[in-house]
Chains A and B, each alone.
Chain A
């Protein structure tokens, strides 16, 4: 086990992630909702799946201990767009949820595009359920590969209640995965070997948890953003951070290098259209601009660039930071708790591997060949 900058960053990212037990709870919860809707929607051949950070593998803990996690679930029904009105689709899904004894008590007032279930108990989840139908191919998705095209959907929006809005969360997830394909593949194989399973037998929910450098880097950047905008409005949205990071990522297997690379290239994902407006296009839905609000609210643009500048300052020289300095160096940027806990994790791993410890010629611990250190006990005496 090597202790270097990437190892510290990986442990920090692990600390920022949702805890395993809570993740399992989240999966159980959304699978249960999916099962219920599936039973109600049978004739519409429903396709129910997570989107957003639970699908991409980029969930971060909220900064405040008791704040909630957002779980995004898509519920696509196989109905043609000329056979049902958007508001009727929305109402139908809402009704099904309302017919469930438990869910009806958890339902929040109707959202703009979703129905929300509040898991108010210890679980602390807000689950957004997005009703949708397949998109029949009316939109000119120029430059988008067929594989991503065919997963596109139509969703509803209360502010445009008679119109279908195109979206493509599945396609986005596939695009995101394509950005980290080779590194992800080798980590997946390692994971399968560890679990004595075949790669194809690894359940999807485990696949979403595999900690690739891209996913780990995004968690760090999201937390960095959360802390900077703790009591402020106008924080850069996660879709922007995620899209720019995934676009800038160049397949680096080392987390520190991935983070440096992402930070140095992220800005290049922002284009200017012929009207001079900033565009951060959805790679699988060219009609969608994640920066569309920047035109009417210029502080959003300023906030993004200031955040990026700060992130670069905070992370690009991290290779110079000494092991013992990490908490003091990063506590304001990522929070004292996760950084200290990361050091503790590293220490636990070190202790677990103590019996096979080898020490190198300059005293470096954990080298592959060196002196075995026998077991001993530290002591101390005023002599």
Chain B
């Protein structure tokens, strides 16, 4: 992987993001591509003995939150509050904390394939542990206004 990516302030275009995704996840499929917009699906499973998940990545460069990842299949079991399993109200996965420093977040200067995708795989693992044990073991932060006392793990 070329080292220039981390050093520069280059913002990756939709096409560049897609190219990188297809390189690292060759089984992924683009299902829509427009200017500054694409949709891409992939089958993933976090462990050798996990069920298969069909994921959707929707990239829309003009939105405030450009990259969103959803689990299309199977249907995600939801706790009373989906914040407990770190999902947004639109059911996209919440994979980074806006107030963290840059190294722990995604932004257009970073490749989705190197950040959001592995984080999504990790989310799937913790989701399965949650299904198995009832506990979210992946740590994380809940919005301050709702749950002041939850510490960052």
Contact = CB atoms under 8 A, between A and B. Distances in A.
Given A373-B118, A373-B119, A363 B132 contact: no
Interface string A345-367: 00100110000010101111110
Nearest to A344: B133
B40 interface: no
Contacts of A191: none
B2 to A, nearest CB: 15
Interface residues of B, number: 62
A361 B25 CA distance: 5
Taking each of A325, A340, A379, A382, which has the highest tally of chain B beta carbons within 10 Å of its own beta carbon? A379
B14 interface: no
Nearest to A380: B83
Interface string B88-103: 1110001111101001
Contact of B124 (A351, A363, A381): A363
Given A363-B46, A379-B96, A380-B86, A347 B140 contact: no
B104 interface: yes
B113 A322 contact: no
A2 B46 CA distance: 11
Nearest to A327: B132
A347 B129 contact: yes
Given A371-B113, A378-B140, A4 B83 contact: no
B39 interface: no
A8 B129 CA distance: 12
B49 A361 contact: no
A376 B47 contact: no
A273 to B, nearest CB: 44
B48 interface: yes
Interface string A287-330: 00000000000000000000000000000000101111111000
A182 B107 CA distance: 53
B127 to A, nearest CB: 8
Contacts of A373: 115, 118-119, 121-122
A305 B113 CA distance: 54
Interface of B: 24-27, 42-51, 53, 55, 65, 82-90, 94-98, 100, 103-105, 113-115, 117-126, 128-129, 131-133, 137-143, 146, 152
Interface of A: 2-5, 8, 319, 321-327, 340, 343-344, 347, 350-351, 357, 359, 361-366, 371-383
